[in-house]
Amino acid sequence: MREIVFDTETTGLSPQDGHRLVEIGCIELVNKVETGRTFHGYFNPSRDMPAEAEAVHGLSIRFLADKPLFGDTALDLLEFVGDCPLVAHNATFDFNFLNHELDRAGHPVICLTRMVDTLAIARTRHPGAKHSLDALCSRYGIDRSHRVKHGALLDAQLLAQLYVELSGGRQIGLSLRADPPPPASPAFYTGGASRPAPRVVTVRPPRPHAATAEELVRHSAFVSKLSDPLWEVASPSG
């Protein structure tokens, strides 16, 4: 199954208050394994950047001034995400901004039935604990030492690892199938980040489990030497 894990950075907390999306990062998963395909983009918000928002993600208006408007790359983003589920942490926030920008650019919004919220999953699995991305990465031993400031692609990469752990851990990728996983295809880019190396997954062929003719003969000889085996005891009359 194909899923997209994504994160956004914005100028503030609510698009209804005039705030805009300034960065998005997406990671493609197939059967909970990263394929190496990503989508990343910075966007000119056509407004100022509040100091408190810049302190979180480090994106200044000067840096964003020559970046495209969201509407200029919206079709590329929609092509990348397709119609698969979209995974985010506190997903209502990200969906709110993403759909606001899509609607503003004249595109259909993404149905909320496609939303997978890792914050809700974490609250169910770990009630009463801290559920921030940092706290959950620490809980599951996910290295975030390179995370100095928030960044959409970096946070999406961390969230992809966390999502796998919340979904059952690395063992969910184990399989007895002999067919290999689908190959990674070229990444989609709008600029801003290097392509991560695809994860290599080795799928081993199933091991035969049927008894050999010799083993069947030895088993029959062993069983014939048993005295009063339980399966030959007559059941009590009822």
* Cα distance between residue 44 and residue 68, in whole Å: 6
What is the pLDDT confidence band of residue 171, given thresholds at 50, 70 and 90?
low
Q: Which two tokens stand for residue 151?
A: 């960044």
Average pLDDT value for the chain: 85
Domain ranges of the chain: 2-205
Q: Which residues pair with 33 in a beta bridge?
A: 30
**Strand 21-30, strand 33-42: pairing:** antiparallel
Question: Residue 43: its pLDDT value, please?
Answer: 98
228 known ligand binder:
no
179 known ligand binder:
no
Comparing 142-156, 161-175, 197-211, which segment has the lowest mean pLDDT?
197-211
Comparing 33-42, 100-109, 134-143, 173-182, which segment has the lowest mean pLDDT?
173-182
Question: Residue 22: its pLDDT value, please?
Answer: 97
What integer is the mean pLDDT of 21-34?
97
Residues listed for the chain: 238
Residue 132 has pLDDT above 80, yes or no: yes
What integer is the mean pLDDT of 97-110?
97
Q: Which of 162, 55, 68, 59 is nearest to 119 (CA)?
A: 162
Question: Residue 225: its pLDDT value, please?
Answer: 83
In the chain, the percentage of residues whose pLDDT exceeds 90 is 66
52 known ligand binder:
yes
* Cα distance between residue 93 and residue 104, in whole Å: 17
- Residue 161 or residue 215, greater confidence: 161
155 known ligand binder:
yes
Comparing 14-23, 35-44, 216-225, which segment has the lowest mean pLDDT?
216-225
pLDDT 10s digits, 81-96:
999 999 999 999 999 9
DSSP H stretches of helix in the chain: 51-57, 61-64, 70-81, 91-104, 118-125, 133-139, 152-166, 213-224
Please give the CATH number for the structural domain made up of 2-205.
3.30.420.10
9 known ligand binder:
yes
What is the pLDDT confidence band of residue 200, given thresholds at 50, 70 and 90?
low
Annotated catalytic sites, by residue?
150
In the chain, the percentage of residues whose pLDDT exceeds 70 is 79
Residue 27 has pLDDT above 80, yes or no: yes
Angle of helix 91-104 relative to helix 118-125, nearest 10 degrees? 170
pLDDT 10s digits, 31-64:
999 999 999 999 999 999 999 999 999 999 999 9
CA distances from 40 to 71, 174, 192, 196 (A): 14, 30, 7, 12
Phi, psi of 117 (to 5 degrees): -105, 110
What integer is the mean pLDDT of 107-112?
96
